Amino acid sequence: MDAFYASVEQRDFPEYRGKPLVVGGLPEGRGGVVATASYEARKFGIRSAMSSKQALQLCPHAIFVRPRFAAYKEVSQKIREIFGRYTDLIEPLSLDEAYLDVTNDKLNIGSAIEIAQQIKQAIKDELNLTASAGVSINKFVAKIASDIKKPDGLTFIGPSSIENFMENLPVEKFHGVGKVTAEKMKKQGLFTGADLKKLSEEDMTGRFGKAGGFYYMIVRGIDDRDVQPHRETKSMGAEDTFAYDLTTEEEMHTELEKIAKIVNERLLKYRLKGRTITLKIKYSDFKQITRSCTIPDNVDDIDTILSVSKTLLAVTDTENSRIRLLGITVSNFLPIETKAKPQTNQLTLFDF
């Protein structure tokens, strides 16, 4: 989806249309962060994860609104229903993004490009929103293609075009290559896919660790990952960014109690129990740390989750610290038995 949160706000509130809109924390607080910016706001350099204060400096006349996640979730479900008319192989990545495998499409349309066009039109007609699609033979290339012509774009990269496309792609455009890795690559004289392609797989792993093996494959357009409609849950958690930095242990414990309650409710909902509890802390200077503890028994009760989280907080020495975000995650779940599913060849996939 194109600038999803901001687009929903502009659709529902006409007074925001055509204006630079920022969805996220308000700039008056000390911990506000941009969740999504409208395309009008992006022209001023405002981007997701930027502090709201910085966003205000870039665009003093920007409008700031808090997220309405219930509304976004409702819209996301309607989008998923549109997807479901064409295929059952849908792998959601977030509220506003998903992979679809349309090798065997339910309406027997026979063309991934036509399916993408129909889905985009249905989203526009029924929800008054725009989406961008990438169509290709695997998830990685489809993902990159979906970002090329935003907003309201559709890009097809066929098998014969993949090699040339990947060679000309700047390294920072590779999905999975973050800012730090991209800078590391550039310092080594690696600026494009063609530069990466010159390296052997051994050289790639030597320079970039396990990720190097992945880069070696995807720079050649090779990605054998299936679309997984029912991905196994690896972790369950919640976090919160605060309007004002937390400075006292009492404030931190109060917020941990709220977060632990949410995590507990989610574990019970999905009938999950885990052994590893991880505490995430982000400080006012944006430094971030995590601390984990693995306990003997699988748990889903709030008392244990909260007790371990408070212990992890205590050992981080928060005295004289200013904390802008806290998060709790439970992982290392009991194994869930699942029936083996037959493997099928993935021929045509696209990413919205």
Residues designated as active site? 97
DSSP state of 259: H
How far is the CA of 295 from the CAs of 238, 301, 303, 304, in angstroms? 20, 13, 14, 10
Count of residues for the chain? 352
User: CB-side exposure of 193: number of CA atoms within 13 Å?
Assistant: 20
Using CA atoms, how far apart are residues 99 and 143, in angstroms rounded to an integer?
Answer: 8
- List residues bridging with 288 in a β-sheet: 282
Dihedral of alpha carbons 104, 106, 112, 116, sign: negative
Ordered strands of the 235-246 beta sheet: 235-246, 323-333, 274-283, 288-299
Largest distance between two CA atoms of the chain: 63
End-to-end CA distance of the chain: 7
Using CA atoms, how far apart are residues 268 and 274, in angstroms rounded to an integer?
Answer: 11
Dihedral of alpha carbons 51, 57, 58, 63, sign: positive
One-letter identity of residue 344: T
DSSP state of 29: S
Dihedral of alpha carbons 335, 302, 70, 36, sign: negative
What b/e sequence results for 239-256 when a residue is b if at least 16 CB atoms lie within 10 Å of its CB, and e otherwise? ebbbeebbeeeeebeebb
